[in-house]
């Protein structure tokens, strides 16, 4: 199903059909905000007692790019040499399918005291405004309580069960503009060139050693991603220059402290900067749920995944303030790439890990 963000393309209907057949009560929430696309979301719940375990996932995918470069059409699934090819199979439709399949076996084979829910959105790969965050806000407001959350993001670099995520780095985007005065290069005294000022600022910025990392996180890093003058003429001093950068930061910082530090490098920071914080750094304080997942992997796969906080952001950043959260799913080495694929064997084994996780968690 070509569910390119933010379109669900029937994926939510399909999941709802399977979950309702198991006895889940399903609700759909369409959220809107001016300047962003409407997003359809699904909340499905089985049971009413505590503890309440939530599975968080997304069914939207990134665009496939040039489809002619794919070995097989990106939305025409094809199996070759034990691999299933298709956009989104690893990130993260295969993980969602594995979890729902694990529910079929778990609910039919075992009575348990507690409740299980799924939050499935089609806005994780997009602005992430009308998806998981608003679903959670709505559910919390009406009194829903979560005890733990498993996010099905692909978490393993090279083989299934290699690692699980116990947190994520924060992400802060910055745009800085230095203004000068346009003029003729032969009369620099009548103009003001903002380029040398920007070069000096970016040199300071890129030379900062933010920290040396923590027990769970790698060092904070800043990357300059764009420098733009938009000047096509050799004999004109430009009126302004813009630069963009991104900071991936650990729990020693937050977006506000980073903004304050960077703005302190200039004389009039208020007019120079635009900011967008995608999420704050966090990690799961209680390791119980991570230990349960580790043991489940050991029982099914024969080894225990290591803890990780690498990678980009995910919707875990929205639910970690409500409960302990971990992320575990398929191998991520082909996600967002041409010929995205996942091992058929891994998909079945992931289903078995999720099933064992449910057994262990509710035991």
The domain spanning residue 259 has which CATH number? 3.30.70.360
Please indicate, yes or no, if residue 3 is contained in any of the structural domains. Answer: no
Q: How far apart are CA 216 and CA 281, in angstroms?
A: 11
Average pLDDT over residues 96-109: 94
Last residue of a domain, one of 278, 298, 320: 278
Q: Which residues are catalytic?
A: 60, 124
Q: How far apart are CA 343 and CA 329, in angstroms?
A: 12
CA distances from 190 to 121, 178, 233, 235 (A): 56, 18, 17, 14
Number of residues assigned to the chain: 363
Residue 250 and residue 293 in one domain: no
Q: How confident is the model at residue 135 (pLDDT cuts 50, 70, 90)?
A: very high
pTM, 2 dp: 0.90
Q: How confident is the model at residue 267 (pLDDT cuts 50, 70, 90)?
A: confident
Q: How far apart are CA 84 and CA 77, in angstroms?
A: 7
Q: How far apart are CA 155 and CA 331, in angstroms?
A: 6
Q: How far apart are CA 131 and CA 140, in angstroms?
A: 14
Please indicate, yes or no, if residue 75 is contained in any of the structural domains. Answer: yes
Q: How far apart are CA 273 and CA 263, in angstroms?
A: 8
344 contact partners, CB below 8 Å, separation of at least 6 = 79, 82, 83, 84
Last residue of a domain, one of 248, 263, 278: 278
Q: How confident is the model at residue 311 (pLDDT cuts 50, 70, 90)?
A: confident
Structural domain range at position 220: 170-278
Q: What is the pLDDT of residue 111?
A: 81
- Looking at residue 350, the DSSP 8-state letter turns out to be H
Q: What's the mean pLDDT when you consider all of the chain? A: 95
Q: What is the pLDDT of residue 108?
A: 84
Q: Minimal CA–CA distance to 90: which of 346, 315, 341?
A: 341
Helix (H) or strand (E) holding 150: strand 148-151
End-to-end CA distance of the chain: 36
Instruction: Give backbone dihedrals phi and psi of 111, rounded to 5 degrees, phi first.
Output: -85, 145
Q: What CATH number corresponds to the domain at position 127?
A: 3.40.630.10
Q: What is the pLDDT of residue 270?
A: 62
Q: How far apart are CA 177 and CA 242, in angstroms?
A: 4
What percent of the chain shows pLDDT beyond 90? Answer: 93
Total domains present in the chain = 2
Average pLDDT over residues 50-67: 97
Residue 294 and residue 212 in one domain: no
Last residue of a domain, one of 250, 278, 306: 278
Q: What is the pLDDT of residue 287?
A: 86
341 contact partners, CB below 8 Å, separation of at least 6 = 83, 84, 85, 86, 89, 90, 334
pLDDT of 239 strictly over 90: yes
**The two three-digit tokens of residue 218, written as one number:** 């790698």
Residue 274 and residue 292 in one domain: no
pLDDT tens digits for range 192-225? 999 999 999 999 999 999 999 999 999 999 999 9
Q: State the chain's maximal CA–CA distance in angstroms.
A: 83
Q: How far apart are CA 242 and CA 273, in angstroms?
A: 10
**The two three-digit tokens of residue 141, written as one number:** 């407001």
Q: How far apart are CA 220 and CA 250, in angstroms?
A: 6
Helix (H) or strand (E) holding 299: helix 288-301
pLDDT of 110 strictly over 80: no
Q: Minimal CA–CA distance to 152: which of 289, 291, 316, 352?
A: 316
pLDDT of 345 strictly over 80: yes
pLDDT of 256 strictly over 80: yes
Q: What is the pLDDT of residue 269?
A: 65
Q: Which alpha helices (DSSP H) does 30-93 contain, by range?
A: none
3 state DSSP class of 146 = coil
């Amino acid at each position: 199903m070509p569910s390119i963000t933010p379109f669900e393309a029937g994926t939510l209907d399909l999941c709802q059909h399977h979950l309702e057949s198991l006895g889940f009560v399903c609700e759909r929430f369409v959220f809107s905000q001016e300047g962003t696309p409407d997003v359809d979301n699904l909340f499905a719940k089985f049971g009413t007692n505590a503890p309440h375990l939530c599975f968080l996932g997304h069914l939207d995918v990134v665009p496939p790019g040039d489809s002619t470069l794919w070995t097989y059409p990106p939305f025409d699934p094809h199996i070759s040499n034990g691999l299933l090819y298709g956009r989104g199979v690893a990130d993260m439709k295969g993980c969602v399918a594995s979890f729902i399949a694990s529910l079929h076996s778990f609910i039919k084979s075992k009575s348990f005291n507690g409740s299980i829910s799924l939050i499935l959105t089609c806005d994780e790969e997009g602005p992430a405004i009308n998806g998981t965050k608003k679903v959670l806000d709505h559910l919390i407001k009406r009194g829903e309580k979560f005890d733990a959350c498993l996010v099905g993001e692909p978490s393993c670099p090279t083989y299934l069960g290699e690692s699980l995520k116990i947190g994520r780095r924060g992400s802060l985007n910055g745009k800085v503009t230095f203004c000068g005065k346009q003029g003729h290069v032969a009369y620099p005294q009548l103009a003001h060139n903002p380029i040398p000022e920007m070069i000096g600022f970016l040199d300071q910025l890129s030379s900062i050693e933010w920290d040396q990392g923590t027990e769970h996180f790698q060092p904070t890093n800043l990357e300059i991603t764009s420098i733009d003058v938009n000047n096509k003429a050799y004999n004109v001093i430009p009126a302004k220059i813009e630069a963009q950068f991104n900071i991936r930061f650990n729990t020693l910082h937050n977006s506000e402290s980073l903004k304050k530090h960077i703005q302190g490098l200039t004389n009039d920071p208020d007019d120079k900067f635009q900011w967008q914080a995608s999420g704050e750094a966090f990690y799961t304080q209680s390791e119980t749920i991570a230990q349960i997942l580790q043991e489940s992997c050991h029982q099914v796969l024969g080894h225990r995944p290591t803890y990780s906080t690498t990678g980009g952001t995910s919707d875990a950043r929205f639910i970690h303030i409500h409960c302990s959260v971990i992320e575990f799913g398929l191998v991520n080495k082909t996600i967002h790439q041409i010929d995205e694929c996942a091992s058929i064997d891994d998909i079945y084994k992931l289903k078995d890990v999720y099933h064992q996780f449910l057994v262990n968690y509710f035991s």
